[in-house]
């Protein structure tokens, strides 16, 4: 959440101070800025999910549990 807020604030500052999307793209500038914000937000979300997974993996290793890349849950069904 913190990374997402920081990225949104930094992007908002960039758009307000440096970007000239309106002069270049005209009426499509809002759409382009929104798509760029979505891209940045999605990257922050994926980075946070990856960080959470690695923290959980580290906790499992610390407890002596097998913490490999495989999912440690049993399959729902064993019949093909």
38 falls in which pLDDT band (50, 70, 90)?
very high
Q: What pLDDT is recorded for position 72? A: 60
Is the CB of residue 79 less than 8 Å from the CB of residue 39? no
* Average pLDDT estimate for 17-30: 75
Whether 41 shows a pLDDT value over 80: the answer reads yes
Q: What pLDDT is recorded for position 70? A: 60
Region for 26 from its dihedrals, namely left if φ exceeds 0, alpha if ψ lies in -120 to 50, beta otherwise: left
Can you give the pTM of this predicted structure?
0.61
pLDDT averaged over the chain? 80
């Amino acid at each position: 959440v913190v990374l997402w807020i920081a990225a949104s604030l930094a992007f908002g500052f960039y758009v307000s101070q440096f970007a000239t999307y309106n002069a270049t793209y005209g009426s499509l500038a809002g759409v382009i800025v929104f798509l760029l914000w979505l891209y940045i937000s999605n990257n922050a979300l994926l980075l946070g999910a990856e960080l959470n997974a690695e923290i959980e993996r580290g906790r499992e290793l610390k407890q002596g549990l097998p913490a490999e890349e495989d999912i440690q849950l049993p399959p729902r069904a064993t019949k093909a």
